[in-house]
Amino acid sequence: MASDILIRAYQGADHEAVRDLFIRVNRELAPAALRDRFEAYIALALREEIDRIGDYYDPALGGGFWVAAEGETVVGTYGLEPGGAGAFELRRMYVDPAHRRRGIGALLLSHAEATCRGKGASKLVLSTSELQTAAIALYNAAGYRLVREVVAAQASNKTVGGGIRRFEFEKEL
């Protein structure tokens, strides 16, 4: 169960495991018709974000990145970015497919909320795609409110684009 999991701040030694998890999860999510678009998205996000986590999620700039570890194995991740007045944005919350259905996602989300409260935030915002049905169910169960649906046309380090529907949620902390 999730009781064996330690959530701790990202360290440089975690890089390869975090990178591998990001790639595997996004390849798993990719519908066959969008595989090339997902590969381009993965390359962009690696270059602009994942391969520079220390800079991108720099705590001195208000961000941070955490890993869920079981022993020496990274089994999950999440990042926080400043998300506007009194808010943080939850990013890159992933659980290794081999470790799902153990409560790790809920543990990561709870840790993120506590971290935000500790930083004085009053709100946590996030977005996820229509492809991530388990994440949508988790956010709904945790009291997040859907505030907007958008269709992502253009790719960025935050979205694949390609007409995939994205759901934006928020929760008052």
Are residues 152 and 159 in contact, defined by beta-carbon separation less than 8 angstroms? yes
- What value does the mean pLDDT take over residues 138-163? 86
Residue 147 inside a domain? The answer is: no
Torsion from C-alpha of 40, 153, 82, 105, nearest 10 degrees: -70
Residue 136 inside a domain? The answer is: no
Distance CA 13, CA 11 (A): 5
Q: How many domains does the chain have?
A: 1
Model confidence over 18-51: pLDDT tens digits? 999 999 999 999 999 989 999 999 999 999 999 9
Domain with 35 in it: 2-125
CATH number reported for the structural domain that contains residue 13 in this entry: 3.40.630.30
Residue 137 inside a domain? The answer is: no
- What value does the mean pLDDT take over residues 58-66? 93
The whole-number pLDDT of residue 1 equals: 62
Q: Grade residue 157 by pLDDT with cuts at 50, 70 and 90.
A: low
More confident residue, 62 or 80: 80
Residue 43 inside a domain? The answer is: yes
Residue 138 inside a domain? The answer is: no
The whole-number pLDDT of residue 28 equals: 96
More confident residue, 59 or 163: 59
Distance CA 170, CA 161 (A): 21
Q: Give residue 104's identity as a one-letter amino acid code.
A: I
Residue 154 inside a domain? The answer is: no
CB within 8 A of 157, min separation 6: which ones? 44, 45, 48, 49
pTM for the complete prediction?
0.93
Residue 146 inside a domain? The answer is: no
The answer on pLDDT for 82 being more than 70 is yes
Q: Which tokens go with 110?
A: 């709870």
Model confidence over 90-110: pLDDT tens digits? 999 999 999 999 999 999 999
Which phi and psi (to 5°) does residue 54 adopt?
-55, -40
Q: Grade residue 162 by pLDDT with cuts at 50, 70 and 90.
A: confident
Distance CA 108, CA 170 (A): 16
CB within 8 A of 68, min separation 6: which ones? 5, 6, 7, 74, 75, 76, 77, 95, 104, 107, 108
Residue 161 inside a domain? The answer is: no
